[in-house]
């Protein structure tokens, strides 16, 4: 007898409480990040492991929120935030506390203040915004890596956790008011996700350095996991994935392949996140959507492999520990990390992670008293206050060290033998010219981009121009001359000397500066081997020339980090020479005198003050052979090949080097602020010699 009843829809599979594929993704993600940090040239895109974590977090948190809404019709915010705090804060704050204490013991004084600031930012989960702010500041782009900068991704996640349940509650309330019995979670979250993706693509193209860290450009990655968590509850999708088709197998393999391709092909120069992040994000979503693909899938054995699951279990703690170990280990060992050292760091990260999991994370989740939101809140405030107190102690140490440094330099700078003065012709009784400096601690007064009250921004800052013009007026009498200081940060670090000359000669000084951009008609393709803003630099250089040739300026003093640039041409050096010649010819034809300051010798060091602090009694350990430090550069060659009235080369190399060696401490002064920029203290000591050349 025929039945006219419609066949019943296949029953949805019971929702699994343990997802081994997610643990495998966690293991893959943390290993990608750690290997990338240890061997960045071997796995150039390993940073996509962070994107994998974002998708997983969005998926798991939204799954939990969905289940609670389905069960109770609402959310308990107190309970949600307490659970997140129990899960994440104990390990995170422990690592911050240990790292802050270890940094005070191992890092040089020059890094105490920055480390304390980053520890505070990480404690209150604002590290991503701190890094985003520094990313758009060229003067900070040469800073050494922060010992806790990896907390930026945790900051993004915590900010997501703070807002996401509120969004879910709003969508539940809105559905109750406008569509009773229907859910707005999936369409509402999908809209937020698409909007964040669009902003990410736009902002990555506009401000790529800042876009990498900012929360709005990353929310869509967590949103993809959230959309997946909601979509998988739908009968149609779940039935298609589980109805004996090959779809799960294809999804899993395609997902793992996408993550692998991203890790291998992307690099630090890739515009990321933006649309490129779709590769690891959708790959992760595909693996999660595939779920359990069964024992016949060869990947299942690897996914369920005990070591894979173990690394997945401890992945959070591994992520927390690995970066402080990488940064601090070279200081503890007093040498760069070798391959054996790096393997030891990886092993130590796993051991510390296991101990943290067993002794901190699991007890915090199981301790019954910590299940009360009030207890969690009080404990959280107390733990954060402890870490903040350690950071405050570091600030106090910095203040004491800087006060001592200012006193020492105030006494030393009155000595005619201080800094470059020790190398003046006829200088006598200057003692050990290349001996230890008067103070190894540098203060804000020593930075190349110091603030001078005589200077103010007079033009620029408008949306229609890249040009910022700062005017510095010294003295009360009418200026004897109007001089422009022009170039990149290697023109800016001459400000100490140029300002002293301007004061003595009663000049009006105009400063037109932009980091990583020389003023030349040659197109700059790369800066220190990395992609740069080629079109922006070219546009800015043209605006500089237009301004100089249309304003009342007597002379231009210019310099640039010439050896750091790759110019567009078959021969980069020759293209650079021709570009400078063309630019200076235009200036000379406009009646300007052009003084080209030869760039300072290169140090070959990642950070000069840290080297000096590591060898307090032997500053010569941080010196460099002159043959390596002073090499032909495009600007110098351009002057030498262009004998023209009004064009002069100012070469003060002999105030940095003798016949064989270039030094980083001279006459009691520290010469370099970082790897290649002059300190203001040494720059000022060069003023008498620069005056002799310019006047």
List, for residues 601-651, the tens digit of each pLDDT value.
999 998 899 899 888 889 999 999 999 999 999 999 999 998 889 999 999
Q: Residue 335 has what pLDDT? A: 84
Compute the average pLDDT of residues 248-262.
93
- Same domain? For 554 and 687 the reply is no
- Same domain? For 346 and 424 the reply is no
Q: Residue 188 has what pLDDT? A: 94
- Same domain? For 514 and 428 the reply is no
Rounded distance between C-alpha atoms, residue 677 and residue 600, angstroms: 8
282 in any annotated domain: yes
Q: Is there a contact between 36 and 46 (Cβ–Cβ < 8 Å)?
A: yes
Average pLDDT, the chain: 89
Residue 236 clears pLDDT 60, i.e. is over it: no
Range of lowest pLDDT (10-19, 102-111, 223-232, 509-518): 10-19
Q: Is there a contact between 690 and 650 (Cβ–Cβ < 8 Å)?
A: yes
Phi, psi of 315 (to 5 degrees): -60, -40
| pLDDT tier at 143, thresholds 50, 70, 90 | low
List, for residues 382-406, the tens digit of each pLDDT value.
999 999 999 998 888 888 887 877 7
290 in any annotated domain: yes
Closest C-alpha to 287, from 321, 317, 247: 247
CATH of the domain at 540: 3.40.50
Closest C-alpha to 154, from 284, 308, 321: 321
| pLDDT tier at 3, thresholds 50, 70, 90 | very low
Q: Residue 366 has what pLDDT? A: 84
Compute the average pLDDT of residues 107-129.
90
Domain coverage including residue 482:
449-598+633-647
Rounded distance between C-alpha atoms, residue 293 and residue 59, angstroms: 19
Residue 430 clears pLDDT 90, i.e. is over it: no
Helix, strand, coil fractions of the chain, as percent rounded to 5? 60, 10, 30
27 in any annotated domain: yes
According to DSSP, the residues that pair with 657 across neighbouring strands are 662
Domain count, the chain: 3
Tokens, residue 350: 């796993």
401 in any annotated domain: no
Phi, psi of 97 (to 5 degrees): -65, -50
- Same domain? For 371 and 474 the reply is no
- Same domain? For 317 and 422 the reply is no
Q: Residue 608 has what pLDDT? A: 93
Residue 139 clears pLDDT 60, i.e. is over it: no
Helix intervals (H) in 207-304: 208-211, 219-231, 235-242, 247-265, 278-290, 298-304
Residue 463 clears pLDDT 50, i.e. is over it: no
13 in any annotated domain: no
Which residue is it, tokens 């690099």?
267
Q: Residue 13 has what pLDDT? A: 52
Tokens, residue 138: 């060229």
- Same domain? For 91 and 186 the reply is yes
CB neighbours (10 Å) of residue 643?
Answer: 7
- Same domain? For 339 and 430 the reply is no
List, for residues 483-507, the tens digit of each pLDDT value.
999 999 999 999 999 999 999 999 9
Residue 199 clears pLDDT 90, i.e. is over it: yes
Q: Residue 2 has what pLDDT? A: 36
Q: What percent of the chain has pLDDT over 90?
A: 67
CB neighbours (10 Å) of residue 255?
Answer: 23
List, for residues 311-321, the tens digit of each pLDDT value.
999 999 999 99
| pLDDT tier at 1, thresholds 50, 70, 90 | very low
List, for residues 365-383, the tens digit of each pLDDT value.
888 777 788 888 898 899 9
* Segment (H or E) for 595: strand 593-597
Q: Residue 7 has what pLDDT? A: 39
Residue 465 clears pLDDT 80, i.e. is over it: no
Tokens, residue 451: 């603030």
| pLDDT tier at 243, thresholds 50, 70, 90 | low
6 in any annotated domain: no
Which residue is it, tokens 């959280």?
380
- Same domain? For 658 and 641 the reply is no
Residues 6+ apart with CB under 8 A from 131: 146, 149, 152, 213
- Same domain? For 557 and 664 the reply is no
249 in any annotated domain: yes
Task: Print burial letters for 597-624: b (CB count within 10 Å at least 16), e (below 16).
Answer: bbbbbbbebebbbbbbbbeeeebeebbb
- Same domain? For 92 and 206 the reply is yes
Q: Residue 238 has what pLDDT? A: 55
613 in any annotated domain: yes
- Same domain? For 210 and 89 the reply is yes
List, for residues 157-183, the tens digit of each pLDDT value.
999 999 999 999 999 999 888 887 788
Phi, psi of 418 (to 5 degrees): -75, 140
Rounded distance between C-alpha atoms, residue 61 and residue 259, angstroms: 22
- Same domain? For 579 and 609 the reply is no
Tokens, residue 316: 């959070």
| pLDDT tier at 134, thresholds 50, 70, 90 | confident
| pLDDT tier at 237, thresholds 50, 70, 90 | low
| pLDDT tier at 247, thresholds 50, 70, 90 | confident
More confident residue, 169 or 112: 169
């Amino acid at each position: 007898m025929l039945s006219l009843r419609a066949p019943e829809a296949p029953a949805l599979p019971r929702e699994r409480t343990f997802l081994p594929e997610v643990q495998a993704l966690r293991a893959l993600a943390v290993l990608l990040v750690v290997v990338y940090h240890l061997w960045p040239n071997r796995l150039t895109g390993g940073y996509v492991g962070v994107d994998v974590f974002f998708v997983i977090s969005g998926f798991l948190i939204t799954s939990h929120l969905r289940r609670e809404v389905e069960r109770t019709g609402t959310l308990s915010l107190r309970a949600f935030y307490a659970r997140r705090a129990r899960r994440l804060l104990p390990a995170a704050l422990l690592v911050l506390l240990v790292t802050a204490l270890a940094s005070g013991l191992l890092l040089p004084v020059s890094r105490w203040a920055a480390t304390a600031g980053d520890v505070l930012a990480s404690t209150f989960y604002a590290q991503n915004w701190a890094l985003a702010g520094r990313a758009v500041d060229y003067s900070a782009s040469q800073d050494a890596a922060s010992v806790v900068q990896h907390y930026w991704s945790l900051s993004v996640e915590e900010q997501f956790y703070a807002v996401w349940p509120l969004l879910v509650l709003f969508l539940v309330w809105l559905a109750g008011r406008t569509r009773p019995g229907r859910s707005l979670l999936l369409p509402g979250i999908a809209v937020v996700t698409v909007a964040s993706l669009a902003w990410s693509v736009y902002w990555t193209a506009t401000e790529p350095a800042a876009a990498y860290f900012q929360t709005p450009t990353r929310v869509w990655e967590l949103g993809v996991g959230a959309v997946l968590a909601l979509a998988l509850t739908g009968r149609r999708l779940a039935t298609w994935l589980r109805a004996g088709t090959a779809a799960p197998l294809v999804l899993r393999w395609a997902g793992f392949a996408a993550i692998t391709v991203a890790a291998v092909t992307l690099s630090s120069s890739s515009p990321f996140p933006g649309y490129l992040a779709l590769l690891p994000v959708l790959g992760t979503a595909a693996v999660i959507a595939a779920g359990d693909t069964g024992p016949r899938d060869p990947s299942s054995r690897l996914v369920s492999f005990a070591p894979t699951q173990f690394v997945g279990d401890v992945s959070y703690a591994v992520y927390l520990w690995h970066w402080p170990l990488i940064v601090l280990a070279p200081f503890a060992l007093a040498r760069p990390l070798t391959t054996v050292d790096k393997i030891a760091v990886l092993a130590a990260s796993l051991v510390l992670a296991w101990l943290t999991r067993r002794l901190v994370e699991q007890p915090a989740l199981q301790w019954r008293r910590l299940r009360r939101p009030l207890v969690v809140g009080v404990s959280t405030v107390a733990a954060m206050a402890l870490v903040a107190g350690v950071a405050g102690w570091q600030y106090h140490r910095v203040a004491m060290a800087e006060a001592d440094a200012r006193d020492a330099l105030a006494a030393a700078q009155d000595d005619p033998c201080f800094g470059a003065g020790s190398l003046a012709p006829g200088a006598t009784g200057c003692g050990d010219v290349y001996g230890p400096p008067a103070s190894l601690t540098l203060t804000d007064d020593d930075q190349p981009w110091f603030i001078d009250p005589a200077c103010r921004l007079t033009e620029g800052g408008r949306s229609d121009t890249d040009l910022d013009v700062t005017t510095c007026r010294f003295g009360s009498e009418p200026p004897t001359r109007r001089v422009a200081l022009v170039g990149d940060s290697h023109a800016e670090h001459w400000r100490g000397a140029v300002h002293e000359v301007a004061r003595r000669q009663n000049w009006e000084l105009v400063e037109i500066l932009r980091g990583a951009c020389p003023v030349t008609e040659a197109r700059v393709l790369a800066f220190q081997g990395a992609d740069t803003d080629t079109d922006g630099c070219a546009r800015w250089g043209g605006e500089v020339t237009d301004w100089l040739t249309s304003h009342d300026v007597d002379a231009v003093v210019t310099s640039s980090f010439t050896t750091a640039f790759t110019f567009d041409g078959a021969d980069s050096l020759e293209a650079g020479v021709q570009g400078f010649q063309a630019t200076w010819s235009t200036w000379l034809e406009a009646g300007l005198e052009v003084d080209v300051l030869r760039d300072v010798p290169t140090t070959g060091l990642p950070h000069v003050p840290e080297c000096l602090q590591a060898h307090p009694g032997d500053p010569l350990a941080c010196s460099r052979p002159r043959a390596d430090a002073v090499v032909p550069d495009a600007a110098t060659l351009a002057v030498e090949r262009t004998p023209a009235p009004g064009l002069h080369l100012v070469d003060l190399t002999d105030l940095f080097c003798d016949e064989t060696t270039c030094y980083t401490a001279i006459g009691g002064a520290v010469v370099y602020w970082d790897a290649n920029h002059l300190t203001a203290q040494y720059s000022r000591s060069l003023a008498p010699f620069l005056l002799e050349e310019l006047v």
